[in-house]
Structure 1
Amino acid sequence: MSHTFDLLVIGDANPDVVLGPLDEPLAFGQREQLVPTGLLTLGGSAAITACGAARLGLRVAIAGRVGDDDAGRFVRAALTARGVHTDALRTDPHLATPLTAVLTRGDGDRAILTAAGTLADTGPEDVPEELLTHSRHVHAASYFLMPRLAAALPELLGIARAHGAGTSLDTNDDPTGRWDPTGLAAVLPVVDILLPNAQEARALARLGADTGPDATEEAAARLAAHGPSVVVKDGGAGAFVHDGRRVLRTAGIAARPLDTVGAGDSFDAGYLAALLAGEPPARALEFAAACGALSTRAHGGTPAQPTWDEAVAALARNGKNQ
């Protein structure tokens, strides 16, 4: 079968307003606090992953929903400028485009405030079957932000798989804090690759407050038992992949991050691009870690995303042959 796209990304796309770093507690009471930097940029896990993959040379499409407003036009133009196909990004005539404010701190942590807009109404009708059947790989993002779409993922990803596509999922955070396993139990069997960070992996595996490295590996093992290969992003500790039988690890590459917003999504893009290029999981893991680290060179999720050659050069500088 001929494929129109290497990668179809399903999920969220919105403007991010990134402010920080804030060196004191956030103050209410109508106090105005000054921070060194502010940026209006493209956000949303799906959008950042799509842009990262396009930057690495993949043919990428995105499916989702934005509003008929200036924010939606900003999102569409930003994706198009980065080489992402947006014909399946539906414009909702009634609901607003989601909008996120990201407040960063000097220690790399951040607070994220999102006005959901079109997210709750995004559903299976926003994902054309033609894209599911003509893409080499289908990636879904921000599972807990779009409950209608989440409920349809078993069917959507099943269609993609039936036509030979690989599938992946990055759930991202659950704003409710419930991490309800009911829906995930249905979707994980049709997911080839699950891409949580360490905290998300433990929450998805219902390990509660246990935060040690052994707990993270145990969480990955539990999730892998449902079918997917589990690729865990663990910040400064690097990353690892658990395929249900063995664990492969990388310490990542040396980096001095300016802003970690979207680094996990750039990691996702790197891992998927490497696998689609025929790299084995161990090399894909190294490549993904490089993509995530390099994306932190600038503020916002997309401005510093690397090209393929930049990521390979970074690995070579760090003594990792690629």
Structure 2
Amino acid sequence: MSGFDLLVVGDANPDVLVAGAPVVPPYGQAETLVASGTLALGGSAAIVAHGAARLGVSTALAAVVGRDAAGDFVLDALSSAGVDVGAVVRHPELATALTVCLGGPGGDRAILTAAGCLAEFEPGELPRARHIHAASYFLQPRLAARLPELFRGAAATCSLDTNHDPAGRWRLAAGLLEVCDYVLPNESEALALTGAATVDEALAAFAAAGVGTPVVKRGRHGAVARRAAETHTARLTPLEPVDTVGAGDSFDAGFLAAVLNGEDLDRALAVGCACGALSTQAVGGTAAQPSWEQAVAYASRPGISPG
């Protein structure tokens, strides 16, 4: 193969999803019964790669996992979806990262992550691709330091979804934004990254920093993008969610698949919104990710209004 359509670079780990957890679990060796528990593929990069492959995009993932059962689980889940895992390395000593999501009242959740080998991830020689997407920037300092160079030297378009910064600093490497064709934060991340008070101000700040097309995900309110000083939006009548874990990553997969398939920006936003919404119909980030046909059908419903 001469190359892939999409190379995703970033985190991959199992998620343990617990529904019905108390706001503060009692300690003292007390056992608390909860509504359900699910083991699923997690990590923003892994969920994006899985979703893109499900949409028919030729996809590879570059990541690090341990030489343990958790790493086996991650690789099996990705390979079964059609993701090429040849660029996933196995750390000889450190464990695969693991995330526990405690689902509480009103759809809120607490996310506990044992970073394991994530901080040691430094990509080596990467496969060629038409587009490179990086995720979970703040969990992988070695990747973060190299990302401007990696993007600048790539014969590909590039995108970044930083995800949350556990340290709360929200600082990006110098020169990174100016080599990003797309940034794909959610609303709270966009405001934190730019220091802006509104989404419009955040979009303008990203554009001023050199991002070709900044995109902000707004959950139930759809998504908004800016290109050449013009604002593009997609809104939809959202589905009643079963679980929202990974919905933003499924948006990324749908948006990038549409871009790679030659769709215009409005259509790409609508397909991204459709993928994010449909992914909420089962527990975990990947169980309900749609096919391209399912995503396009939902994006064409009257409830979605690009403009």
TM-score interval for Structure 1 and Structure 2 normalised by the shorter chain: over 0.9
Q: Residue 296 of structure 2 corresponds to which residue in structure 1?
A: 312
1:13 counterpart letter in structure 2 = A
Q: Residue 244 of structure 2 corresponds to which residue in structure 1?
A: 260
Q: Residue 158 of structure 2 corresponds to which residue in structure 1?
A: 167
Contact 1:253 1:293 in 2 (8 A): no
Confirm or deny that 1:291 pairs with 2:270.
no
Contact 1:253 1:315 in 2 (8 A): no
Report the alpha carbon displacement of residue 27 of structure 1 after superposing the two structures with TM: 3.2
Q: Residue 188 of structure 1 corresponds to which residue in structure 2?
A: 177
Report the alpha carbon displacement of residue 236 of structure 1 after superposing the two structures with TM: 1.5
Per-residue CA deviations over 1:221-257 (Å, capped at 9, x if unaligned) read 1112112211111112211012251211111243010
SS at match of 1:273: helix
1:283 counterpart letter in structure 2 = R
- Give the direction of change, closer, same or farther, for the CA distance of 1:269–1:25 in structure 2 (3 Å limit): same
d(CA) in 1 for partners of 2:234, 2:303: 13
Q: Residue 200 of structure 2 corresponds to which residue in structure 1?
A: 217
Count how many residue pairs are aligned between Structure 1 and Structure 2.
305
Per-residue CA deviations over 1:158-197 (Å, capped at 9, x if unaligned) read 121xx2x11000000001011124x1x3211111000000
Which is richer in helix?
Answer: 1
Q: Residue 27 of structure 1 corresponds to which residue in structure 2?
A: 26
d(CA) in 1 for partners of 2:20, 2:183: 31
- Give the direction of change, closer, same or farther, for the CA distance of 1:118–1:317 in structure 2 (3 Å limit): same
Per-residue CA deviations over 1:81-106 (Å, capped at 9, x if unaligned) read 01100011001111110000011124
Alignment of 1:92-241 (within 5 A): 92-125=91-124, 128-129=125-126, 131=127, 134-160=128-154, 163=155, 165-181=156-172, 183=173, 185-207=174-196, 210=197, 215-228=198-211, 229-241=213-225
d(CA) in 2 for partners of 1:244, 1:200: 22
Q: Residue 69 of structure 2 corresponds to which residue in structure 1?
A: 70
Contact 2:138 2:162 in 1 (8 A): yes
Contact 1:253 1:290 in 2 (8 A): no
d(CA) in 2 for partners of 1:257, 1:25: 24
Per-residue CA deviations over 1:47-73 (Å, capped at 9, x if unaligned) read 000000000000100001110001001
d(CA) in 1 for partners of 2:270, 2:253: 13
Contact 2:97 2:114 in 1 (8 A): yes
Report the alpha carbon displacement of residue 316 of structure 1 after superposing the two structures with TM: 3.2
Q: Residue 245 of structure 1 corresponds to which residue in structure 2?
A: 229
Give me the TM-score of the superposition, normalised by structure 1: 0.91
2:102 counterpart letter in structure 1 = L
Contact 1:16 1:40 in 2 (8 A): yes
Contact 1:225 1:244 in 2 (8 A): no
Contact 2:236 2:305 in 1 (8 A): no
SS at match of 2:106: coil
1:174 counterpart letter in structure 2 = D
Report the alpha carbon displacement of residue 36 of structure 1 after superposing the two structures with TM: 1.3
d(CA) in 2 for partners of 1:144, 1:254: 30
Contact 2:235 2:304 in 1 (8 A): no
SS at match of 2:204: helix
Per-residue CA deviations over 1:275-322 (Å, capped at 9, x if unaligned) read 000000011001100000000000000000000111122233435599
Contact 2:220 2:238 in 1 (8 A): no
1:16 counterpart letter in structure 2 = D
SS at match of 1:169: strand
Where structure 2 has 5 or more consecutive residues not aligned to the other structure, the ranges are none
